[in-house]
Structure 1
Amino acid sequence: MYDVAIIGAGPAGASAAIFTAKAGKKTLVVDHDKGMTKKAWFENYYGITEISGPELVETGIKQFQRLGADLVEEEATEIKTNGDGTFTITTSENKQFDAKHVILSTGVALALAEQLGVITKPGTEPRIKTVLQVDEQGRTNIDGVWAAGTAAGVSVHAIITAGDGGKVAINVISELNGERYVDHDIYQPNS
């Protein structure tokens, strides 16, 4: 049983996985390698002079894997709610994974969320017609299902979706812990 299953490994999903894995939560990321970040070029991403979308995605994957998150490189084809408040994610290869919480970071692909019954609303970004309805914390109308990034209606800019993924992850971790979670490391220069 995973604490958190994240659908999508773009900037929102990878950021969420980095935070949940670093917090010691058993984390699964399911990604089909077709996100829109793979087509992008970045010169406006904080801390990076320039980077291609594929390199950015690969860096995020390496980072969350280094922190202990698992990656399944398949398409998530179904999410079912279980009677005990958990979820079962089924992939295109008919693998199944159980999780206590799900974070949808699926960009413009909303069919999986719609099958689950997540409420949608009109998007406000150019070319983004529909997004998932979420509250300030990233919760959808289904307990335990959250959304981050473009799917949740934030700006399509990768740095903003990454920040939103981190925000949603902090809120999920806080709910799992039963108290507000803060992740601040202190720089310790070598003496």
Structure 2
Amino acid sequence: MYDVVIIGGGPAGQSAALFTSKGQLKTLLLDNEKGLTQRALIRNHYGADDVPGGELVAVGRKQAEKFGTEFNKANVTNVIKKDEGFTIETEEGDTYEGKQIILATGANSKLAETIGLNTKPSSEPYVKHVVDVDAAGRTNIEGIWAAGTAAGVSVHTIITSGDGAKVAVNLLSDLKGERYVDHDAL
């Protein structure tokens, strides 16, 4: 069983994975590799020159893998709460087990609605509904968190990646019982 299963491999999901893996949580990221970032040209991401979205995603994946994140291509169809954790079902017929879930599915709220998460209208253009979360990223189902555009933040990659990091730090803080801080020294 994974400590954390992240659904969605764009900037929010990969940023969350970077923090959870670096925080010593066994992390799996499931992604259908169809996210909007894959098709974007990004000219407003701090620390990066003009970069095709696919390249930005590839760099994020490499960083998360360095700290132990496992990646699988999958179309997640449902997340079912169990006595301990969750079972994640995929269109391909595979299942995965996780103690905590971070939903980072971008503009697609279909999975959130299938799971039974509360949603609300979005203020972002082209995004109809988002997951209703508290300030930390918690949803109405204990153990399921949401980050990035799926949680109602702006679609800009710099903002969604920051929100993924925020949600991961809040999850780590909850699990550790104290504020989690990730600082490296030279």
Same fold (TM over 0.5): yes
Instruction: List per-residue Cα deviations over 1:111-145 (Å, max 9, x = no partner).
Output: 11111110000101112121110000000000000
Match in the other structure for 1:159? 158
Instruction: List per-residue Cα deviations over 1:59-104 (Å, max 9, x = no partner).
Output: 11111111101101111111101023x1011122211111111000
Structure 1 CA distance, aligned partners of 2:23 and 2:116? 29
Does 2:107 align with 1:108? yes
Query: 5+ residue gaps in structure 2?
Result: none
Match in the other structure for 1:6? 6
Match in the other structure for 1:37? 37
Matching of residues 83-98 of structure 1 within 5 Å: 83-84=83-84, 86-98=85-97
Matching of residues 37-76 of structure 1 within 5 Å: 37-76=37-76
Query: 5+ residue gaps in structure 1?
Result: none
Structure 2 CA distance, aligned partners of 1:109 and 1:162? 17
Instruction: List per-residue Cα deviations over 1:136-183 (Å, max 9, x = no partner).
Output: 000000000000000000011000000000000001111121211000
Match in the other structure for 2:172? 173
- How many corresponding residue pairs? 186
Q: Give the TM-score normalised by structure 2.
A: 0.98
What CA RMSD, in Å, does the superposition of the two structures yield over aligned residues? 0.8
Partner of 2:100, secondary structure, is strand
Structure 2 CA distance, aligned partners of 1:83 and 1:101? 12
Q: Give the TM-score normalised by structure 1.
A: 0.95
Match in the other structure for 2:183? 184
Partner of 2:80, secondary structure, is strand
Question: Which protein has the larger Cα radius of gyration, Structure 1 or Structure 2?
Answer: 1
